[in-house]
Amino acid sequence: MTKKQYSFDYEHFATAKELPQQDQELVEMAIEAAKKAYAPYSNFNVGASILLDNGTIVTGNNQENAAYPSGLCAERVALFYANANYPENAVKTIAVVAMKNNELVSTEVAPCGSCRQAILETETRFKTPIKMIMGGKAGFNIINNATELLPLSFTGDSL
């Protein structure tokens, strides 16, 4: 038996004001998107904004459904829109925030496993690292590529 270890570095910023200007703008856009989420069942409003390599920013939010699994997370709504409409453009950065009662949730939001898998697909597709900004009242976690968010991952190379 060999013991192996996986570790990754990430950054934490206590407030949005400490983030670079471009990232602050993405966070603001994610917050505005969260306010427009359709989340009548969880009341957990999530917003995502995506910066493409041509400077375009697209946003999305969670879209729930009475048949629960038919809904979709904010990250994938935004990501699939970006990939559908800008198939030539790499995704550079994704900012995501979650809100309850019109306020940011206390801890930094963490994308679900399916979103991590979808984000990794886009990172692999465009061979460009995707920076993730994950916000909450406690601040912002920043990770510099999606690969680190999903260790021992399944990708097209596995097929």
Active site residues: 75
The separation between CA 100 and the C-alpha centre of its own chain, rounded to angstroms, equals 18
d(CA 143, CA 136): 15
- Residue 58, both tokens: 């697209």
Cβ pair 129, 145 in contact under 8 A? yes
Burial of 71 (0-12, 13-18, 19+ CB in 10 A): middle
Return the residue matching tokens 């399944």: 154
Phi and psi at residue 89, in whole multiples of 5°?
-110, 125
Indicate the residue among 54 and 137 with the shorter CB distance to ligand THU: 137
Indicate the residue among 39 and 118 with the shorter CB distance to ligand THU: 39
* Least spacing, CB of residue 115 vs ligand THU, in Å: 6
Indicate the residue among 53 and 148 with the shorter CB distance to ligand THU: 148
* Least spacing, CB of residue 22 vs ligand THU, in Å: 22
Query: Residues in the site for ligand THU, rule: CB under 6 A?
Result: 39, 42, 44, 46, 62, 64, 71, 73-75, 109, 111-112, 115
* Least spacing, CB of residue 109 vs ligand THU, in Å: 5
